[in-house]
Structure 1
C-alpha cells in the first residue's frame, strides 16, 4: 500500500474515533498514539505531552524513547516548538524527531511528539498529518472547554 493511501486511512479512522470520543480527550489522545505507532513502521515512538506546572508531562505514548517523562519549560525542542507555535523537525543522529504544539486559544495545551526509527522516513506527508491532528486536538479541547 502506498504511504499516501495509508495516511488517508489513518485520517479517516482517527476522524471516526474523534466523533466517538467527542468529550473524552484522554481516549482520543491514546487512540492517536496507538494508531500511528501500530500502522506506521517508520515511527519508533508516538507521544503526547501535556502542560502541567511549567513543564511538559508525558501523558500518552506508544513505543520507546529516550526523552524524560517531565521536561521543564525552556528546555529542548518541545519548548522551541511551543515558542514558535509551529512544527519543529530535527534530525538527531540517524532518526527524525517531530514536535507539533497544540493550543486552546493562545494557551499551550500540549505537544504531539513523533520519533522516527533509525533510517526511517518522516516526510512532509507525515508532517501534514501531524498538523491536522494538532488542529483536531485544538478543536476538541475548545469543544470540551465551552
Structure 2
C-alpha cells in the first residue's frame, strides 16, 4: 500500500474514534490503538501525555514506552516541546521521535509522542501534515468531553 493511501485510511479510522467512545481516556486509547494497528515493528510506539500542574503524565502507550510515565516539568524533551509549542522531530541512530503538543486555546493540554524505527518507516512531509491534523483533531474533540457552559 502506498503511503498516501495508508495515511488516508488512518485519517478515516482516527476520525471514527470519537463516535465510538464516551470518555477522554477511551478517546486517547482509541487514537493510539489506530496507530498501533499499523505498527509493523515491536520497537514502534505511540503515547499520549497530559499536562498536570507539575508534570506530564502518560495516559496511554502502545508499544514500548521510551519515556517515563510521569515526567516533572523542566525534565526531558517534553518540557522543550511545551516551551517551543510546535511539533519536534528528533532522530538518533535507530529511532525517529515525533513530539506533538496539543492545546485548548493557548493552554497546553498534552503531547503525543511517537517513536518509529528508521529501518521500518521514513517520516516525510506528508506524515508531518497528517500528524498535525491528528493534533488538531484531538484539540477539537477534547472540547466535546468538556463542553463550555455559556
Give TM-score, length-normalised by structure 1. Answer: 0.90
Which residue is 1:44 aligned to? Answer: 44
Query: Does the aligned pair in 1 maintain the 2:18–2:27 contact within 8 Å?
Result: yes
Deviations along 1:38-94, one digit per CA (max 9) or x if unpaired, are: 114367000001112311111111001331111111222211111111001000222
Q: Which runs of 5+ in 2 are unaligned?
A: none
Aligned 1:45-124 pairs, distance under 5 A? 45-120=45-120, 121-124=122-125
Q: How many Å separate the matches in 2 of 1:119 and 1:80?
A: 26
Q: How many Å separate the matches in 2 of 1:26 and 1:2?
A: 31
Q: How many Å separate the matches in 2 of 1:124 and 1:72?
A: 31
Q: How many Å separate the matches in 1 of 2:44 and 2:35?
A: 10
SS at match of 1:57: strand
SS at match of 1:119: coil
SS at match of 1:68: coil
Query: Does the aligned pair in 1 maintain the 2:81–2:88 contact within 8 Å?
Result: yes
C-alpha spacing 1:128/1:41, structure 2 compared with 1 (3 Å): farther
Q: Shift of residue 118 of structure 1?
A: 4.5
Aligned residues: 145
Give TM-score, length-normalised by structure 2. Answer: 0.87
Q: Which runs of 5+ in 1 are unaligned?
A: none
Q: How many Å separate the matches in 2 of 1:25 and 1:130?
A: 19
RMSD of equivalent CA atoms = 1.7
Aligned 1:11-22 pairs, distance under 5 A? 11-21=11-21
